[in-house]
Amino acid sequence: KVVAVIMVGGPTKGTRFRPLSFNTPKPLFPLAGQPMVHHPISACKRIPNLAQIFLIGFYEEREFALYVSSISNELKVPVRYLKEDKPHGSAGGLYYFRDMIMEDSPSHIFLLNCDVCCNFPLPDMLEAHRRYGGMGTMLVIKVSAESANQFGELIADPITKELLHYTEKPETFVSDLINCGVYVFTPEIFTAIEGVSTHREDTANLRHVSSFEAFHSLTRNLPKDFVRLDQDILSPLAGKKQLYTYETMDFWEQIKTPGISLKCSALYLAQFRLTSPHLLAGGDGTKSATVIGDVYVHPSAKVHPTAKIGPNVSISANVRVGAGVRLICCIVLDDVEIQENAVIINSIVGWKSSLGKWARVQASAVMQFSLLYSLGSFGADGDYNAKLGITILGEAVTVEDEIVVINSIVLPNKTLNVSVQEEIIL
């Protein structure tokens, strides 16, 4: 048997995702119309002999209750949310729930960060992992040398694929091969994590100061049950024939900011085109509005037949789209109302917001996303906002008739009755 664990973090972790993480936990923010965490969960479904999926985090249980029960029914695999009383770190959280994770005596445990966007080649990783015969195998990808320092940089043996060296977010360049935050382990991982806590307790009891200790003081002062997978496990175990790498040649992004979520939404919509085209709009779902490229429309949304939407548009539940509206590259969240002839380009529109007639909500560069995308203007190097600009409306923002909002971030519950550009409206 195999189990999968998805680390979802908690309310203190998603702060860069504001203003969209005020009321909705970041893992439940929709990408291509599905909660962020839904994408790794549905990828787990392809693992042979999958017994259970655990989400581990320190959000309140009730925030995940509804999603977890509906996805369990849909996938016919038990999905459980396990709440930590406090953050234990990416490996500590796993260890904290070891008894539950080991309930079915799994031979392998997948561990996935919830804030990465990729095609999760899990069955292939498992096969490679069995071949390598180590304790763990991690998904890795080559990125541009300039962006590598935002991630764990590593060196792998070109032939055996063994992890030879690992440094988390190094200050000086190590390698353009980085950690994707997707792993498969044997149950020995628990022994390794236990080893870190025990060692930390021992060194904390030895109170003599040496330069070596001063160097390690940061680590030593962490609580003994707080264990980071990268610094505390991957770094020390590199080069010991226990960890191996599996390189993906497909897409991969880290989802830290709202801006990048527009790009990830596009990547997942494009994947739906291949894997589940029935989820994409075209014909009945949109009640004959003009659809261009990959578009998701929730069945409860009402889109006027004269509206024109796409590419890369995702429309959530109960959204109303009026006559003559134009939507390009945007995420429109639940209960939004868009009145006649309004335009939204390169933007995220928060829950319950409303746009008046002829209103425009857009980024500064009004270039078609698909065009920029095909020109390769986006690498795995992150700052989508800087390259293209984006407008984000928080929850319940009102944009009055004919108002233009360009490249701005508007916090929840604001009413805009004058046009704004390059502003943050608090």
Report the interface residues with ligand GDD, using CB under 6 A: 7-9, 13, 56-58, 84, 87-90, 93, 113-116, 151-152, 168, 178-181, 230, 254
Nearer CB in complex with ligand GDD: 116/388? 116
| Residue type for position 201 | E
Q: How many CA atoms within 13 Å lie on the side-chain side of 302?
A: 9
Chain center to CA of 103? 28
| Residue type for position 16 | R
Smallest distance, Å, CB 134 to ligand GDD? 18
Nearer CB in complex with ligand GDD: 153/335? 153
> Could you give the CA distance from residue 178 to residue 144 in angstroms, rounded to a whole number?
10
Q: Is the peptide bond before 106 cis (omega within 30 degrees of 0)?
A: no
Nearer CB in complex with ligand GDD: 369/384? 384
Nearer CB in complex with ligand GDD: 4/114? 114
Smallest distance, Å, CB 181 to ligand GDD? 3
Smallest distance, Å, CB 178 to ligand GDD? 5
Q: Of 114, 91, 96, whose CA–CA distance to 38 is shortest?
A: 114
Phi, psi at 223, each rounded to 5°? -60, 150
Chain center to CA of 324? 33
Give the strand pairing for 108-113 and 177-185. antiparallel
Q: Of 335, 369, 366, 331, whose CA–CA distance to 349 is shortest?
A: 331
Smallest distance, Å, CB 222 to ligand GDD? 11
Q: Of 370, 365, 359, 425, whose CA–CA distance to 392 is shortest?
A: 425
Residue 306 has what DSSP assignment? T
Q: How many CA atoms within 13 Å lie on the side-chain side of 385?
A: 16
Nearer CB in complex with ligand GDD: 104/168? 168
Nearer CB in complex with ligand GDD: 22/358? 22
Chain center to CA of 50? 22
Strand partners, 327: 309, 344
Nearer CB in complex with ligand GDD: 87/195? 87
Smallest distance, Å, CB 356 to ligand GDD? 38
Smallest distance, Å, CB 421 to ligand GDD? 32
Q: What angle do CA 33, 414, 266 make, to 5 degrees?
A: 20
Nearer CB in complex with ligand GDD: 59/132? 59
> Could you give the CA distance from residue 149 to residue 173 in angstroms, rounded to a whole number?
7
Nearer CB in complex with ligand GDD: 180/333? 180
Name the token pair of 261: 């979520």
Query: Please, is 221 exposed, middle or buried when counting C-beta atoms within 10 Å of its C-beta (0-12, 13-18, 19+)?
Result: exposed
Smallest distance, Å, CB 57 to ligand GDD? 4
Smallest distance, Å, CB 8 to ligand GDD? 6
Smallest distance, Å, CB 140 to ligand GDD? 9
